[in-house]
């Protein structure tokens, strides 16, 4: 979800099922860092995974989107441990990957697809373009390709 939505860890943890509209393919971030709401359109891959996850969770006994072993909203530490476990399984331990790294990846992938900085800013929930620019990572190869487009 992080790589396809750009959500902050706290935003993901605070999501509820009623913040998700699978039919219209969007989610609403109601509790963001800057206290403003935003709508994020969902990629088809995320829709499919959420649909599978929903079917595993039915009947819903808790409105929280992601729950832990106690059937309560997942805790920050549990999410970090789960993420770290999958990073280790994938052989990426020690390379500095965090959930926040995936937020950077989201912004960079959008930029590489020629999405405007203003749209990236809005999707990330930033108040200013300066905040968004911190997340954008452009390689030397990409800069060279840009010059060759002239």
| 100 given a catalytic annotation | yes
DSSP H or E run through 41: strand 38-41
| C-alpha to C-alpha distances, 96 to 28, 67, 84, 85, 93, nearest whole angstrom | 29, 26, 10, 13, 7
| 33 given a catalytic annotation | yes
| 109 given a catalytic annotation | no
| 126 given a catalytic annotation | yes
Give the residue among 76, 7, 17, 79 at the shortest CA–CA distance from 50: 17
Q: Among residues 33, 80, 127, 137, which one is catalytic?
A: 33
| 121 given a catalytic annotation | no
Q: Among residues 4, 104, 121, 135, which one is catalytic?
A: 135
Q: Among residues 4, 104, 121, 126, which one is catalytic?
A: 126
Q: Among residues 4, 8, 104, 121, which one is catalytic?
A: 8
| 75 given a catalytic annotation | no
Catalytic residues: 8, 33, 100, 103, 126, 135
């Amino acid at each position: 979800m992080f790589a396809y939505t750009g959500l902050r860890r706290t935003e993901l943890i605070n999501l509820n099922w009623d913040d998700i509209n699978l039919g219209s393919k969007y989610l609403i971030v109601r509790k963001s860092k800057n206290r403003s709401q935003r709508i994020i359109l969902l990629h088809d891959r995320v829709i499919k995974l959420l649909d599978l996850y929903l079917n595993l969770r039915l009947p819903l006994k808790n409105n929280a989107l992601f729950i832990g072993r106690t059937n309560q909203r997942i805790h920050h530490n549990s999410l970090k441990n789960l993420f770290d476990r999958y990073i280790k399984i994938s052989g990426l331990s020690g390379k500095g990957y965090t959930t926040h790294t995936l937020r950077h990846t989201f912004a960079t992938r959008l930029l590489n697809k020629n999405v405007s900085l203003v749209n990236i800013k809005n999707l990330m929930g930033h108040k200013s373009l300066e905040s968004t620019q911190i997340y954008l990572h452009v390689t030397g190869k990409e800069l060279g390709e840009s010059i060759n487009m002239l």
